[in-house]
């Protein structure tokens, strides 16, 4: 299935989609699939969203790319809109991907301590099950042995602790500690959500020791949990937050958002990007924000996800031999499986419901945020059918 392509992805299903509208993808044979994968949490407005199409048609007539050597008004506008949602922050750097947003965050942390004369403070505390991207630095930050094998000495300065273990963090903080990096809801690691009180304790620890708290919201941000940022429910804020995936609604855009204090060491010339923040990407981000920040949109996510979770709780109760546990927050849903997750994924695909796997034997359901109750009903029926078939051994 890979042909001339580097075989780093399994494309064994051979599935290929030709068109999409709303939350439906259509394959080459005209078969419709309900898309609860959304390009792995990217297509938050689904496909061919009318407002997105209109804004991108306008944008495509103007220069797509202008160097960051010039003023790009779309960057200022998108940055201001993001900062309005992140009152703790003062600066934004735009990137083309999540990993690049994290790279900027990692440099920002180190430069902050460097600027304070604390060059020894270069270590970030991270957590098992983390995923921060596939560059060399973000692979090291994620710490997964499988992804680090054979690519040489990993970048130093990451210390991985058990997920959720605030006591371990308190014990690990030392002279070299620069900050704490976590996903408020882990994605790839198995849709594990941090409780509010743990985040509050980490915030207090960071404040007490002069550490920076960095949230990787590449997957859980942009309304996915029902709040604009996935951390909002906790009542605390980070010093730096990384966004990407949903931000461009399918166009590659990432952002590293930081407080003035955190970004104090990011002087002229210390970072950059050729493509990051180009006008076309800024239009995509701006169009997505038009919709996500509209009155009632996040309430829709909250209501729809509550309805979905209620239905999934029933499915778990009726199919305990297939679904063991319901995880996540909002429309970031994880089903921990009692059978191999690949079996459930295949059975759901047979029901024409697209989803994604995660670690810890979890199936992820990440529908576009524009999903309606009717789609949820269809998905629940597909899940019920898939589970029944698996129970029947067929
Ligand atoms: C997907 C993801 C990344 C990496 O984003 P890319 O755009 O693939 O570089 C980083 N962190 C989290 C939490 C993610 O889900």
Q: What is the pLDDT of residues 187-230, one digit of tens each?
A: 999 999 999 999 999 999 999 999 999 999 999 999 999 999 99
Give the Å distance between the CA of 22 and the centre of ligand 1: 23
**Can you give the chain as a three-state secondary structure string?**
CCCCCCCCCCCCCCCCEEEEEECEEEECCCCEEEECCHHHHCCCCCECCHHHHHHHHHHHHCCCCCCCCCCCHHHHHHHHHHHHHCCCCCEEEEECCHHHHHHHHHHHHHHHHHHCCCCCCCEEEEECCCCCCCCHHHHHHHCCHHHHCCCCCCCCCEEEECCCCHHHHHHHCCCCEEEEEECCEECCCCCEECCHHHHHHHHHHHHHHCCEEEEECCCCCCCCCCCCCCCHHHCCCCCEEEECHHHHECECCEEEEECCCHHHHCCCCCCCCCCCCCHHHHHHHHHHHHHHCCCCHHHHHHHHHHHHHHHHHHHHHHCCCCEEEEEEECCEEEEEECCCHHHHHHHHHHCCEECEEECCCEEEECCCCCCCHHHHHHHHHHHHHHHHHHHCCC
Q: Is the pLDDT of residue 394 over 60?
A: no
Q: Which two tokens stand for residue 57?
A: 């048609």
Q: How confident is the model at residue 1 (pLDDT cuts 50, 70, 90)?
A: low
User: Which whole number is the average pLDDT over 59-68?
Assistant: 97
Q: Which two tokens stand for residue 228?
A: 């604009």
Q: Are 90 and 123 in contact (CB under 8 A)?
A: no
Q: Are 103 and 260 in contact (CB under 8 A)?
A: no
Task: For ligand 1, pick from 101, 136, 244 the residue to mutate: most ligand atoms within 8 Å of CB.
Answer: 244
**What sign does the CA torsion over 58, 63, 68, 73 have?**
negative
User: Which whole number is the average pLDDT over 361-371?
Assistant: 98
Look at residue 11 in the predicted model and tell me its pLDDT. Answer: 76
- Over residues 155-198, the pLDDT tens digits come to 999 999 999 999 999 999 999 999 999 999 999 999 999 999 99
Task: Report the 10 Å Cβ neighbour count for 201.
Answer: 16
Pocket of ligand 1 (CB under 6 A): 97-99, 102, 131-133, 183, 187, 216, 218-219, 244-245
Q: Which atom of ligand 1 is nearest to the CA of 254?
A: 7
**Whole-angstrom Cα distance, residue 53 to residue 46?**
12
Look at residue 12 in the predicted model and tell me its pLDDT. Answer: 66
Length of the chain: 394
- Distance between first and last Cα of the chain: 26
Q: Is the pLDDT of residue 13 over 80?
A: no
Could you tell me which of 54, 55, 6, 44 has the C-alpha nearest to residue 22? 44
CA angle 360, 361, 366 (to 5 degrees): 95
Q: Which atom of ligand 1 is nearest to the CA of 100?
A: 9
Task: For ligand 1, pick from 139, 222, 245, 251 the residue to mutate: most ligand atoms within 8 Å of CB.
Answer: 245
Question: Which residues fall within 8 angstroms of residue 186, CB to CB, at 6 or more apart?
Answer: 127, 129, 130, 131, 163, 192, 193
Q: Are 126 and 141 in contact (CB under 8 A)?
A: yes
Look at residue 150 in the predicted model and tell me its pLDDT. Answer: 96
Question: Which residues fall within 8 angstroms of residue 12, CB to CB, at 6 or more apart?
Answer: 1
Look at residue 3 in the predicted model and tell me its pLDDT. Answer: 87
- Over residues 287-345, the pLDDT tens digits come to 999 999 999 999 999 999 999 999 999 999 999 999 999 999 999 999 999 999 999 99
Mean per-residue pLDDT of the chain:
97
Give the Å distance between the CA of 242 and the centre of ligand 1: 9
Look at residue 292 in the predicted model and tell me its pLDDT. Answer: 98
Q: Which atom of ligand 1 is nearest to the CA of 188?
A: 15
Could you tell me which of 154, 219, 157 has the C-alpha nearest to residue 189? 219
Q: Is the pLDDT of residue 357 over 90?
A: yes
Look at residue 14 in the predicted model and tell me its pLDDT. Answer: 85
Q: Which two tokens stand for residue 376?
A: 């949820």
């Amino acid at each position: 299935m890979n042909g001339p392509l580097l075989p780093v992805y399994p494309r064994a299903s051979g599935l290929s989609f030709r068109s999409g509208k709303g939350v439906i993808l259509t394959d080459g044979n005209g078969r419709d699939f309900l898309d609860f994968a959304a390009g792995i949490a990217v297509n938050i407005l689904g496909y061919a969203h009318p407002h997105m199409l209109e804004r991108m048609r306008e944008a495509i007539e103007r220069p797509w790319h202008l160097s960051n050597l010039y003023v790009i008004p779309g960057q200022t506008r998108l940055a201001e809109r993001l900062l309005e949602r992140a009152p703790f922050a003062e600066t934004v750097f735009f990137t083309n991907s999540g990993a690049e947003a994290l790279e900027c965050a990692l440099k920002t942390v180190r430069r902050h301590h460097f600027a304070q004369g604390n060059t020894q403070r270069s270590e970030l505390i991270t957590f098992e099950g983390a995923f921060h991207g596939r560059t060399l630095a973000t692979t090291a930050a994620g710490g997964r042995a499988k992804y680090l094998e054979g690519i040489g000495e990993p970048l130093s300065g990451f210390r991985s602790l058990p997920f959720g273990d605030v006591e371990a963090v308190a014990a690990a903080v030392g002279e070299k500690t620069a900050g704490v990096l976590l996903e408020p809801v882990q994605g790839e690691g198995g849709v594990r959500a941090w409780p509010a009180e743990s985040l509050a304790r980490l915030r207090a620890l960071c404040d007490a020791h002069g550490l920076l708290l960095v949230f990787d919201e590449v997957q859980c941000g942009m309304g996915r949990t029902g709040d604009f940022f996935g951390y909002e429910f906790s009542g605390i804020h980070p010093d730096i937050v990384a966004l990407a995936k949903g931000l461009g609604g399918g166009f590659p855009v990432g952002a590293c958002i930081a407080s003035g204090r955190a970004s104090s060491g990011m002087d002229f010339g210390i970072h950059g990007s050729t493509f990051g923040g180009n006008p076309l990407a800024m239009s995509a981000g701006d169009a997505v924000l038009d919709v996500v920040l509209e009155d009632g949109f996040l309430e829709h996510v909250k209501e729809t996800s509550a309805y979905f979770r209620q239905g999934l709780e029933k499915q778990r109760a009726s199919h305990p031999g297939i679904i063991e546990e319901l995880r996540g927050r909002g429309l970031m849903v994880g089903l921990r499986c009692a059978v191999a997750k690949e079996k459930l994924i295949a059975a759901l695909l047979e029901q024409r419901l697209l989803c994604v796997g995660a670690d810890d034997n979890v199936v992820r359901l990440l529908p576009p945020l524009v999903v309606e109750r009717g789609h949820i009903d269809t998905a629940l029926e597909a899940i019920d059918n898939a589970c029944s078939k698996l129970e029947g051994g067929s």
